[in-house]
Structure 1
């Protein structure tokens, strides 16, 4: 087991070992080590157990570089991972309505071409929201051509008192370590999950939005006889979206949020997950720091604009 020790657990390694008929290399994160065996976790969350006697060479290797993200693809993936109750289109632009619950679920997503002049497309969007008694609102990626066009047409900040929303991303092998807590992954959330995810009554549209994605699961951690941390994961292509992460205030700063993320990452790996994203307000410095320690970096940021 040349080159590896217990202190290397958690680092990326390459291990050459014997198999019937020859040798093979395994690259991944060292999950466990002792004098008789080791375990390497691959990016797809599979774990390779290797006997020490079969190892011919092993060493640590640098972390996988975080490749540039396709921002346009990610911008659309975030919408598909958490679909609204009602949707419509103006060209490729996505109109979303969910009875007013969440900005994402009740805003225009200007991805692609509207198939007509922007000013005309925005009139269609305003009519869509007027018909539903909702304020016309658009989720705008800062620095995009749409941000400049919308503002030139008179659209202004819908939430001037709120900081930017950051969309963070990383590769799955940075975040799919074994959680320190037992995390339950369920295809459908129980009442205890909703009770931990919300203060007070659950908004009527919430179940339709949260449970509406084709591939979604609900993670939870129970301590002292009750659910104290929850989160939701959804798959869009090779992207894992993590949202609705909430930890009971009495149990914060114990790594529960990280454990939820790690469990979701391990769920998504066998399904083809390769990258993961989440959203956080810029003002939430503790959360940003925690996500940074897990390898998350900023892909882009957005704000909501309104015409009124």
Structure 2
């Protein structure tokens, strides 16, 4: 760092910086995103989502720093984290493999998650999974991480594409300070969703019976919404698992799309998570959903892995 005012300029807004400045009793360093700049002050936003306004006169040194690279993701851990962020109504285990059932609502909540050691030959573990779903009158479904050690073996046991017409699902991740900017809209967060949230989430259908149990079942969860002219026009859900924030259920009403409302929902949830130790965030998107994929990429999300559903006919 150099100079009493450092080397920060207006062009650095939105980039990561480090600022050394004077507090009562000495100097302190702050690392975060430069949220605002003027000749008299700077505003820095660290990972916890708070904002620090620092008079330039108090700055001993400051400089931009390279974008924090996304640390390599432990995809096996993230694979399990996504399941904990949106738990099924009923779960069981075959060794470390997770069986999930929720009366058929959503693939994630009604599929085998083959992660870890099943504790027995794969053929036997798959047989137990088939029995689990047959007993509940559900299709035999497995959520398979593409390129995982079990993918080829499960396919070789006669499991085939369950949704061949769909593209891959991308699980994307980034660091929280890439997405915890102050939203352009007033994002309301609640511990439980109200009727308006559910109406916006399921605008084209009735609320499935298992949905509240699945959506509200996480231990630490928030439901986000944006209201315009008295109407809820955007919603989303965030769940904390360790230092991970999972974001899902983002919906924007048709007449309000392409206005940054989805971005605001992500930012509002990220600012909540930062206060509770959140450091990283993930979400899922179909590869064919190019509009959402472009939005998430602009926010700094990058692909961690992708998955598909297999079924046993």
Normalised to the residue count of structure 1, the TM-score between the two structures is 0.98
Task: Return the alpha-carbon distance in structure 2 between the equivalents of residues 225 and 36 of structure 1.
Answer: 39
Aligned to 1:212: 217
Instruction: State whether structure 2 residue 131 is matched by structure 1 residue 127.
Output: yes
Instruction: State whether structure 2 residue 154 is matched by structure 1 residue 150.
Output: yes
User: Offset of 1:35 from its aligned partner?
Assistant: 3.3
Residues 207-286 of structure 1: matches in 2 within 5 Å? 207-286=212-291
> CA-to-partner distance for each residue in 1:115-167, whole Å, 9 max, x for gaps?
11111111111111011110110000001111111011110001111111000
Aligned to 2:205: 200
- Other structure's SS at 1:121 match: helix
Task: Return the alpha-carbon distance in structure 2 between the equivalents of residues 206 and 153 of structure 1.
Answer: 32
Q: What is the aligned counterpart of 2:299 among 287, 294, 298?
A: 294
Instruction: State whether structure 2 residue 82 is matched by structure 1 residue 78.
Output: yes
Q: What is the aligned counterpart of 1:179 among 166, 170, 183?
A: 183
Task: Return the alpha-carbon distance in structure 1 between the equivalents of residues 228 and 38 of structure 2.
Answer: 30
- Other structure's SS at 2:72 match: coil
> CA-to-partner distance for each residue in 1:15-60, whole Å, 9 max, x for gaps?
1111223222211111222333222111122322212221122222
Residues 14-93 of structure 1: matches in 2 within 5 Å? 14-93=18-97
Aligned length: 308
Aligned to 2:141: 137
> CA-to-partner distance for each residue in 1:66-114, whole Å, 9 max, x for gaps?
1111100000000000000111111111100000000000000011111
Pick which of 4-13 and 103-112 moved more: 4-13
User: Offset of 1:13 from its aligned partner?
Assistant: 1.2
> CA-to-partner distance for each residue in 1:188-234, whole Å, 9 max, x for gaps?
10100001111221001000000000011000001121000000000
- Other structure's SS at 1:56 match: strand
Aligned to 1:101: 105
Aligned to 2:169: 165
- Other structure's SS at 2:62 match: strand
Task: Return the alpha-carbon distance in structure 2 between the equivalents of residues 142 and 190 of structure 1.
Answer: 37
Q: Structure 2 regions of 5+ residues with no counterpart? A: none
Task: Return the alpha-carbon distance in structure 2 between the equivalents of residues 187 and 121 of structure 1.
Answer: 37
Task: Return the alpha-carbon distance in structure 2 between the equivalents of residues 63 and 224 of structure 1.
Answer: 38
Alpha-carbon RMSD:
1.0
